């Protein structure tokens, strides 16, 4: 299999689905003439033309609303945000329109659309550009929330998302765009709602998503050198949540650490921790610990931002506390 970057995997997925289905189109700020703010849409304008690769004004609420309407009429829009932090000005369109219209219409309309873009901290862009909002959107019953950590899943999950008849929140992480790995060519689909074990282990379970999966894997490698084998679950999809795989792992290891970049209060990890204690209490040999970002706005300063975010070192310390 060829080795390509995360951003190239996303580009492949979009191009292949646009070739497969003429109803698929992409819109957003700088997706056409500039080839995308992060070059995910590179080459698409030349290949598919301005009717299907559409530059929009700086108005997330406006072009998200346009996409919702297009989806209800049978098209399959892909909305790109420069950052998910900018989705806040489109909250009404995402939640009250994309998220509710099918239910409120008694199933007369479907909303087959994907809203995607980057999120997360670590790039020194400050508090208004560094949100990690998967927990916000997972609170909306009709929305599917996907957060791939590796290029193969970025491609396979985006292709599956574009084919879905439901509104999909597809949250990438900016620090992963240049990450390289093997990605299957051609028809590669990853099932929505299924987690994946990225590393097998018998002593403790790490549950993570997006860039935090890589932090968990780094921590697992450190622990392995000290005789502790950690199993790492990459959730891939926050909603629906693959709790069956989580339960299967914890029944083997009897311990869990949750690793997320969300702020700690009401992050998705809080829900997972609740479900573990609710359904697996007798399987646990120690309390569940969550490793999240600190409860403070994202700083510009590099040392402060590194201190605020979850790290492999913090995961290792949490694991040792659980194992103790």
R_g of the chain, CA atoms, integer Å = 19
188: annotated active-site residue? no
Strands 204-208, 53-55: parallel, antiparallel or unpaired by DSSP?
unpaired
131: annotated active-site residue? no
Task: Dig out the tokens for 67 from the structure.
Answer: 């996409």
Q: In what order do the strands lie in the sheet with 196-199?
A: 196-199, 230-234, 204-208, 256-259, 289-291
Provide the CA 155 distance to its chain's centre, in angstroms. 12
Contacts of 67 (CB under 8 A, 6+ apart): 27, 77, 79, 113, 115
- Cβ atoms of 246 and 233 closer than 8 Å: yes
Catalytic residue among 29, 60, 134, 231: 60
H/E stretch holding 44 reads: helix 44-48
Catalytic residue among 17, 29, 129, 305: 129
Catalytic site residues?
Answer: 60, 129
């Amino acid at each position: 299999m060829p080795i390509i970057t995360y951003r190239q995997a996303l580009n492949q997925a979009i191009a292949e689905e646009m070739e497969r289905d003429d109803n698929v189109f992409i819109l957003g700020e700088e997706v056409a003439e500039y080839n995308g703010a992060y070059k995910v849409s590179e080459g698409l304008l030349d290949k598919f033309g301005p009717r299907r690769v559409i530059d929009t004004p700086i108005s997330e609420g406006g072009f998200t609303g346009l996409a919702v309407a297009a989806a209800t009429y049978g098209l399959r829009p892909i909305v790109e945000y420069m950052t998910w932090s900018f989705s806040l000005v489109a909250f009404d369109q995402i939640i009250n329109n994309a998220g509710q219209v099918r239910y409120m219409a008694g199933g007369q309309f479907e909303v087959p659309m994907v809203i995607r873009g980057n999120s997360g901290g670590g790039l020194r862009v400050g508090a208004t550009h560094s949100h990690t909002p998967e927990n916000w959107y997972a609170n909306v019953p009709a929305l599917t929330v996907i957060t791939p950590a590796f290029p193969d899943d970025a491609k396979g999950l985006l292709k599956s998302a574009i084919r879905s008849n439901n509104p999909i929140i597809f949250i990438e992480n900016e620090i992963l765009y240049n990450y390289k790995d093997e990605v299957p060519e051609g028809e590669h689909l990853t099932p929505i709602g299924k987690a994946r074990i990225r590393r097998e282990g018998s002593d403790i379970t790490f549950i993570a998503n997006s860039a935090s999966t890589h932090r968990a894997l780094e921590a697992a490698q450190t622990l392995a050198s000290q005789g502790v084998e950690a199993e790492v679950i990459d959730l891939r999809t926050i909603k629906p949540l693959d709790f069956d795989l989580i339960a299967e792992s914890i029944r083997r290891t009897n311990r869990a650490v949750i690793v997320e970049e969300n702020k700690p209060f009401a992050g998705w990890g809080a829900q997972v921790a609740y479900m573990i204690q609710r359904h697996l209490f007798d399987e646990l040999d120690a309390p569940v610990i969550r490793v999240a970002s600190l409860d403070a706005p994202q700083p510009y300063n590099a040392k402060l931002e590194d201190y605020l975010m979850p790290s492999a070192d913090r995961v290792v310390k949490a694991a040792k506390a659980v194992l103790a």
